[in-house]
């Protein structure tokens, strides 16, 4: 969406702000969904006594991994304004490949519960 924003000759127009607002709205919904998904995965798979430690480590790792990308995107933008978008697209493709390679449609124990007959 950000790539679709028309370049203005001077001051930003109403359509520029409309596109930017739509991008921010979609970004906020996506971030909210990812946050809820990560919280539910931790709640489902981590022991309740260790949950706060695991969540602290999870958030620390996310911050450590995300922090350099602001600097990298700024550096790439100084070279050419399209490079940060290319970086984002490349990272998206890498993420899709990793998810496709590691995707597990069902857990073996859940499948055994579903196929077993009630006593």
Per-residue pLDDT of the chain (119 residues; tens, 9 = 90+): 766 776 667 777 788 888 888 888 998 998 899 888 888 888 888 888 888 898 899 889 989 988 898 899 899 989 988 888 889 889 989 999 998 888 777 666 655 555 655 55
Q: What is the pTM of this model?
A: 0.57
Tokens, residue 45: 């798979």
| Domain coordinates in residue numbering, the chain | 37-119
């Amino acid at each position: 969406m950000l790539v679709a924003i028309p370049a203005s000759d001077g001051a930003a127009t109403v359509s520029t702000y409309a596109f930017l607002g739509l991008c921010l709205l979609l970004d906020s919904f996506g971030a909210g969904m990812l946050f809820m998904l990560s919280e539910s995965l931790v709640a489902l798979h981590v022991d309740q006594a260790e949950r706060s430690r695991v969540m602290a480590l999870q958030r620390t790792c996310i911050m450590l991994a995300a922090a350099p990308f602001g600097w990298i995107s700024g550096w790439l933008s100084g070279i050419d304004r399209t490079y940060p978008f290319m970086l984002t697209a490349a990272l998206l493709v890498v993420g899709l490949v990793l998810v496709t390679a590691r995707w597990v449609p069902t857990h073996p124990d859940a499948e055994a519960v579903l196929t077993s007959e009630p006593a």
